Amino acid sequence: FQEDMGFGRSVICSSLMIFNYRPVNGQNLTDGFYSVACPLAESIVRETMKAYFLIQPNIAPAMLKLHYSDCFVEGCDGSVLISGPNTEKTADARHQKTD
């Protein structure tokens, strides 16, 4: 069990390092960006990710792919995580229906 805990911690640490990656141009998103509009945003994301990693440690590769696709390519806005019928989260499903 201790080995699993060590692996989980390393996955969380690695993920947090990647989530804190700042592109050279910055995309105008900084630490504390939501401190007024949603002061708990960063802690909510951190605690939610910790909980998912503890439940399903193999989620790390999927999260890295998601983060790479949404953030590294065009700047990080988190829009793939927003729920709704016409959001980026459901874009693939909508696209496949029209083909």
What string of pLDDT tens digits covers the 99 residues of the chain?
Answer: 444 555 666 666 666 655 555 554 455 667 777 788 888 888 888 888 888 888 888 887 887 777 776 666 656 655 555 666 666 655 555 455 554
Which string of DSSP letters, residue by residue, matches 53-85? Answer: HHH-GGGHHHHHHHHIIIIITT----GGG--ST
Residue 92 marked as a ligand binder? no
Whether 73 has a binding-site annotation, put simply, is: yes
C-beta separation of 64 from 18 below 8 A: yes
Domain count, the chain: 1
The residue range of the domain holding 84 is 2-98
Backbone φ and ψ of 11, nearest 5°: -65, -45
70 has binding-site annotation: yes
- Write phi, then psi, for 74 (nearest 5 degrees): -125, 15
Residue 77 annotated as binding site: yes
Ligand-binding annotation for 26, yes or no, is no
